[in-house]
Amino acid sequence: MRIGVMGAGSIGGYFGGMLARSGHQVTLIARGAHLEAIKQEGLRIIRDDEQFTLRCPADVGATDDPVDVGPVDLLLLTVKTYHNQQAVQDMLPMVGPDTTVLCLQNGIDSYEAAEQQVGTERVLPGAAYIEAGMPDPGVVTQKGQVVRIVFGELDGSESRRGSQIRETLEAAGIPALFTQDIGQTLWSKFLFIATMAGVTTLSRQTLAELLVREEWRQVVLSCMREIEAVGRATGVSLETRIVDDTMEYMEANLEQMHASMHADIMSGKPLELEALNGAVVRAGRAAGVATPINDVIYAMLKPYAPGTG
């Protein structure tokens, strides 16, 4: 299968690398020092129990120009959401009549940017569950046992392409689920990510530092309950214990709970605020549900959204 990865940072680099190692013709769209390192030294992937290097171009392709790639069968969209406007334009040379764009970004509506450019019929919304990092140019790390891609058709159908993509991912060592309720998947992850990212970025502290203090524990719970209420009002079938289960998961894994938006504000980088807490505010207004916690998070962080560094 010909596969393109639009945004080959930590997440895109890991999934693209695993697919390339399994024999697919993968091209990574990268830039700057990361791209140069891949071209010169290859893409190095470090996991808890193994590490390997994919040489370029023998094992994996890499470029900053999608025109060099041409139409692919599968295109993974893994750029930060604040790059969507430019990225979905840039990726068009890789989109042909038979291309499927699998969106693996934060948020409940991030995939809509791709839809607007290439049409609903070519887009599959999805969610990536992974602890990945990029400590150095050309190097991608993956830690822990949680690695999974969940995706689905917007209409809940069991399409042939969905089954083929699931099989392709699993054959490459990437656990995958082709779900018939992608809305539930997106909102369930969103409730967790938007809360963790919002409260830790606002406070400039980690969940491990916050949840030992009752006042912040209540803020975290209230934030999740707001998102749950908005999701249900929007028509999403969330699990009955979604908030309790998410809090239990947070408390059981506090040392591993690190939001990329928190890391971004600490280093002065742009924030995915619009795709996270901003999306809660917008969806709440549309559904007629009050979101006071997320209103405050959004208002307080908006001046920092473009980045300060």
- State residue 85's pLDDT score: 92
Looking at residue 4, what is its pLDDT? 98
The pLDDT of residue 195 is 98
**Cβ atoms of 201 and 207 closer than 8 Å:** no
User: What pLDDT shows up at residue 266?
Assistant: 96
Q: At 78, phi and psi to the nearest 5?
A: -130, 20
Report the C-alpha gap between 130 and 98 in whole angstroms.
28
pLDDT of residue 74: 98
Chain centroid to CA 146: 14
> Which tokens is 256 given?
């591993």
CATH topology of domain 183-304: N-(1-d-carboxylethyl)-l-norvaline Dehydrogenase; domain 2 (1.10.1040)
CATH class of 2-180: alpha beta
pLDDT tens-place string over residues 188-214: 999 999 999 999 999 999 999 999 999
Report the pLDDT value the prediction gives residue 244, as an integer from 0 to 100: 97
pLDDT in tens, 275-298: 999 999 999 999 999 999 999 999
- CB-CB contact of 126 with 104 (8 Å): yes
CB atoms under 10 Å from CB of 67, counted, come to: 10
pLDDT digits (tens, 9 = 90+) for 19-68: 999 999 999 999 999 999 999 999 999 999 999 999 999 999 999 999 99
**What's the pLDDT score for residue 151?**
98
Q: What is the pLDDT of residue 146?
A: 87
pLDDT (tens digit per residue) in 89-129: 999 999 999 999 999 999 999 999 999 999 999 999 999 99
CB-based contacts of 128, cutoff 8 Å, min separation 6:
11, 15, 78, 104, 148, 149
Q: Which residues contact 281 (CB under 8 A, 6 or more apart)?
A: 291, 294, 295, 298
Give the dihedral of Cα atoms 56, 61, 65, 71; nearest 10 deg: 170
Contacts of 193 (CB under 8 A, 6+ apart): 106, 259, 276
Q: Which two tokens stand for residue 107?
A: 């948020």
Question: What global pTM score does this model have?
Answer: 0.94
* pLDDT exceeds 90 at position 145: no
pLDDT digits (tens, 9 = 90+) for 169-182: 999 999 999 999 99
Confidence of residue 269 (pLDDT cuts 50, 70, 90): very high
Same fold, 2-180 and 183-304: no
Residue 274 in this model has a pLDDT that exceeds 80 = yes
CA Rg, the chain, in Å? 19
Average pLDDT over the chain, rounded to an integer? 96
pLDDT of residue 257: 83
Domain ranges of the chain: 2-180, 183-304
Q: How far is CA 116 from CA 18, 87, 92, 120, 121, in A?
A: 29, 13, 12, 8, 11
Query: How many secondary structure helices (H) and strands (E) does the chain include?
Result: 12, 10
- Of the chain, the percentage scoring pLDDT greater than 70 comes to 100
